[in-house]
Amino acid sequence: MAVSSSRSAVRRSPAPTYAHYRQYKQQRVRRNLVVWAVVFGAVTWAVWSSGFGLLTLFNGLSESYSFIVTDALPPKLESVPDYLGPTLETLYMSVVGLVISVVISVPIGILGARNTTVHRVVSYLAKSIAGIARAAPSLVITVFFVAVFGVGPLAGTLALGLGGVGILGKVYADAIEEIDAAQIEGVRSTGASWLQILGQGVWPQFKPAFMTWTQYRFERNVRGGAVIGLVGGGGLGFSLISAINLYQFRDAMTIILMIFVMVMVIELATRALRRRAI
Amino acid sequence: MASELNTRALQQVTSESTTPALLSVRNLNKTYPDGTQALHDVSLDIPSGQLVAVIGLSGAGKSTFMRCVNRLVEPTSGQIVFDGQDVTRARRGDLRRIRRQMGMIFQQFNLVQRLPVVTNVLHGRLGYTSAVRGCLGRFPQHEVEQALEMLAQVGLADQAFKRCSELSGGQMQRVGIARAMMQGAALILADEPIASLDVSSSEKVMTILKEVATAQRITTIVNLHQVDFAQQFADRVIGLRDGSVFCDMPTDGLTEDLIRDLYYGHVPQQDEED
Amino acid sequence: MVQTSTPAEVGGIPTDPQATRRRVTHRILWGLAAAFVVLSVFQLGITPQRFTDALPRASFVWDRMWPPAIDDGGALSTAVVESLQIAIVGTAFGILLSIPLALIAARNVTPFAPLSLAMKGFAAFVRAVPALIWAFLFIMAVGLGPTAGILALAVNSTGMLVKVYAEALEEIPMGPIEALQASGASRSHIAFQGILPSVVRLFIAWSVFRLDINVRYSTILGVVGAGGIGWELTRAASLSRYDVALGITVVIFILVMATEAVSQWLRRRVDDDTAFRVEE
């Protein structure tokens, strides 16, 4: 140790000694201690003040299990045809909501991306719009649309559409910003206009990300569309809340299973289509 | 030649000879479950202090041979004696004790990327550490100091508290060497240590390995596929072809003809295993 | 649209029959998609008239929305606290349930291979049912209130966490394990020094990410009666107090953004240890 510390005066950076090692270890421990203190503090506070413990968890799960087995099973398969209409309605909502999101998000993406925007301020504004839309859960948006358009699928569709702008606007802008600048330079050097640059230089590179994220959002819409009816947005969610209000738990279970099947089928179908179409 | 010795002769060598072989391999065979015969009757003697290069095409059995020595790969038959201990018959506890006397260096460095450099070097002492201390990563002061000294020897003193993921490939391999040296091993097994490195890093790594072998008299076996590096650094070259010892000689005995034979002297198999 | 020309195209005219066929299916699919959009618009009854009819209603709502207001500060803060409790407890129990299940689900750790597949299927099912539907299920079983919300988030988190934890386990780098084995380390050494450091970071990252998601959910669970601030929101809306509804929405915004900031701080703190420098 003595040797290495006397030698260190000559070196550019001092040779680390055991003291440094201890210091390093202690620093790590201190750092982690703060994090774990925060985490454990928060969890103990929440568990203690909510009175929700392991016992509540297992009681709740076993109660739910016996409830499902006795009151909600077997699902009423004979009422499946009654809910095909709402299922389709959910799909319609997802599709139209997606179109609305894309139509709004593409300009937001183009104007938000630093490399294709018309002005820095415009880019900032476009990104802020997406940021606000992202922070608002779509169910909250639905509450306001229901207030304006009344209960029904229109409110739900618009809420899905607006909710999608938050995500799609951001990822479109990000994807466009990652585009290879040299290829745009190439198109620009031919004297192309702004629109021509977008069409010939930007779109071909943007297309894969665009397809992936749009597909992702469609899958999210199908899930969201099933839920949004719970607050009056139409579709399967609305049938579900009606069934529950009438204590028709086996109908409710049927609807829940139909939501599950619909989500799975849509995911498989979009994946198959994507392989084929692109 | 060494391969002509039988088992009894070996025992005489290890017990009576003035310079006993540190590692003796007799009739080593390895057949994988899929039927590939990776090693075919390999017999070798490696005395203390040699830097031995094992060369040959990929798929010739170099890597399998090395992993049989510390039984990361279970040999099918044959005998390996290391420093008077029968490796092939060792049980779990004994095997751990044997393994800690053999340091190993890997093509992909095999460091724990998330941990700091110095901890990775200290991992070389895990074979000597109790369960609790090892699990918690608590190493005694003299081992920490030794680890820092090892890092200084491979020129990485100032990187000690960086995460391994922040190092370059050449630096990572030097950490790997420091970890192997940390074991205080009598034998170092280096499996393609420079195959993932550029030329200048390769030379640095090989120079360090050479220094370790000569200055500290640690026997070193290096798998290489670059013959030029073998010729530049090794005392002795063993050529493996199709799982058998094709040639075994001091480095200056290696001729162009031999090399051509070793690498191109057979019809290449279409479905050669990796 | 831009088509990149392939060698099979001569002057933009495709000569390869396979490419032609692909192009035709391409067009048919896009045509069908467009037709489905039009059909959807009709089926949903979306007409310009609906929008013009809603204009007076919209201006009514808009007028009552401003300025945003807090009606009952005490009740609202209680609701905010309840939302946070639901999110934290739901996440904590979700993690607690997920770790043992992920050990079963990971291909390389599972004690019994068919069990791994079954566990992954179970997780996929839990994920496919939206969190709010879970909340409903638990409300039906245990009644209205935060308990249903916590159960819903714990279970829904399990669906995601089991999957990502198992994937993290399956991607454990084998190299360091081999190296520690070769140096004579024992099994427990390898588990703690070789495996844990690589896995822990991913576990933490995903858990914190899930906390973000759960805070979002906890703000809307109340909409269906599973406790938290969402309940205040629906109540305000049903009383046509749109100024209060907007005020609550702003509070939800702040809550979501604040947790994101906190979780980012946590993640950086755990992740970053480059700050140490050797000084005399």
pLDDT digit string (tens) for A18-72?
A: 888 888 888 888 888 888 888 889 888 888 887 777 777 787 788 878 877 777 7
Shortest Cα–Cα distance, A15 to chain B (Å): 6
Measured between beta carbons, the chain B residues lying within 8 angstroms of C180 are: 123, 126
- Give the domain range for residue C191: 73-267
Measured between beta carbons, the chain C residues lying within 8 angstroms of A42 are: 88
Q: Quote the percentage of chain B above a pLDDT of 70.
A: 89
Domain contains A76:
no
Put simply, the answer to whether B161 touches A4 (Cβ < 8 Å) is: no
* Residues C105 and C149 grouped into a single domain: yes
Put simply, the answer to whether A43 touches C234 (Cβ < 8 Å) is: no
Instruction: Give the residue ranges of DSSP H helices in B43-195.
Output: 62-69, 92-99, 117-122, 131-136, 141-153, 169-182
* E strand or H helix that includes residue B187: strand B187-191
Put simply, the answer to whether B106 touches C179 (Cβ < 8 Å) is: yes
Which of A27, A50, A73 finishes a domain? Answer: A50
Shortest Cα–Cα distance, A153 to chain C (Å): 7
* Residues A8 and A98 grouped into a single domain: no
- The amino acid sitting at B159 is Q
For residues B107-122, average pLDDT:
89
Q: Is the ipTM, as predicted for this complex, more than 0.85?
A: no
pTM across the whole model: 0.76
Domain count of chain C? 2
User: Does B175 score more than 90 pLDDT?
Assistant: yes
Q: Is C122 on the interface with A (CB under 8 A)?
A: no
Neighbour tally for A263: CB within 10 Å: 19
Domain contains A192:
yes
Tokens of A63: 């109660």
d(CA A130, CA B201): 48
For residues B47-59, average pLDDT:
87
Domain contains C11:
no
Angle at C147 between CA C78 and CA C214, to 5 degrees: 75
* Residues A273 and A206 grouped into a single domain: yes
Put simply, the answer to whether A18 touches B148 (Cβ < 8 Å) is: yes
- Chain centroid, CA C135 distance in Å: 15
Tokens of A273: 């289509």
Which residues does residue B103 pair with via DSSP β-bridges, in sequence order?
B188
* Residues C243 and C199 grouped into a single domain: yes
Provide the pLDDT for residue B189.
92
pLDDT tens-digit readout, C71-119: 777 888 888 888 888 899 999 999 999 998 988 888 877 778 888 888 8
Tokens of C184: 């004579």
Domain contains C1:
no
Put simply, the answer to whether C182 touches B96 (Cβ < 8 Å) is: no
Domain contains C2:
no
d(CA C248, CA B3): 85
φ and ψ of B182, to 5 deg: -55, -25
Q: Is C225 on the interface with B (CB under 8 A)?
A: no
User: Does B222 score more than 90 pLDDT?
Assistant: yes
Tokens of C210: 């899930």
Provide the pLDDT for residue B53.
92
Instruction: Give the residue ranges of DSSP H helices in B23-72.
Output: 62-69
For chain A, the first-to-last Cα distance in angstroms comes to 65
* E strand or H helix that includes residue C248: helix C242-271
Domain count of chain A? 2
Put simply, the answer to whether C193 touches B134 (Cβ < 8 Å) is: yes
Tokens of B210: 């050479």
DSSP letters, A83-151, are: GHHHHHHHHHHHHHHHHHHHHHHHHHHHHHSTTT-S-HHHHHHHHHHHHHHHHS-HHHHHHHHHHHH-S
* Residues A133 and A7 grouped into a single domain: no
d(CA C234, CA C241): 10
* Residues A123 and A198 grouped into a single domain: yes
Given a contact cutoff of 8 angstroms between Cβ atoms, the answer to whether B217 and B97 are in contact is no
- Give the domain range for residue A18: 2-50
Given a contact cutoff of 8 angstroms between Cβ atoms, the answer to whether A86 and A93 are in contact is no
Angle between helices C48-65 and C242-271 (to 10 degrees): 80
* Residues C87 and C115 grouped into a single domain: yes
Provide the pLDDT for residue B2.
41
Q: Is B1 on the interface with C (CB under 8 A)?
A: no
Instruction: Choose the mutation target among B69, B96, B135 for the interface with C, i.e. most C CBs under 10 Å.
Output: B135
* Residues C151 and C50 grouped into a single domain: no
**What letter does residue B216 receive in the DSSP assignment?**
S
Angle at A107 between CA A106 and CA A110, to 5 degrees: 85
Q: Which residue has the higher pLDDT, B139 or A55?
A: B139
User: Does B13 score more than 50 pLDDT?
Assistant: no
Domain contains C65:
no
d(CA C163, CA C170): 11
Q: Is B148 on the interface with A (CB under 8 A)?
A: yes
Q: Which residue has the higher pLDDT, C276 or C242?
A: C242
Instruction: Look at strands B77-82 and B85-86 and give their pairing.
Output: antiparallel
Closest residue by Cα to residue A57 from C85, C98, C147, C214? C147
Q: Please compute Rg for chain A using Cα positions.
A: 27
Put simply, the answer to whether B110 touches C188 (Cβ < 8 Å) is: no
d(CA B4, CA C158): 64
* Residues A28 and A154 grouped into a single domain: no
Provide the pLDDT for residue A14.
64
d(CA C47, CA C66): 29
Given a contact cutoff of 8 angstroms between Cβ atoms, the answer to whether B45 and B57 are in contact is no
Domain contains C276:
no
On average, the pLDDT of chain C sits at 81
* Residues C41 and C168 grouped into a single domain: no
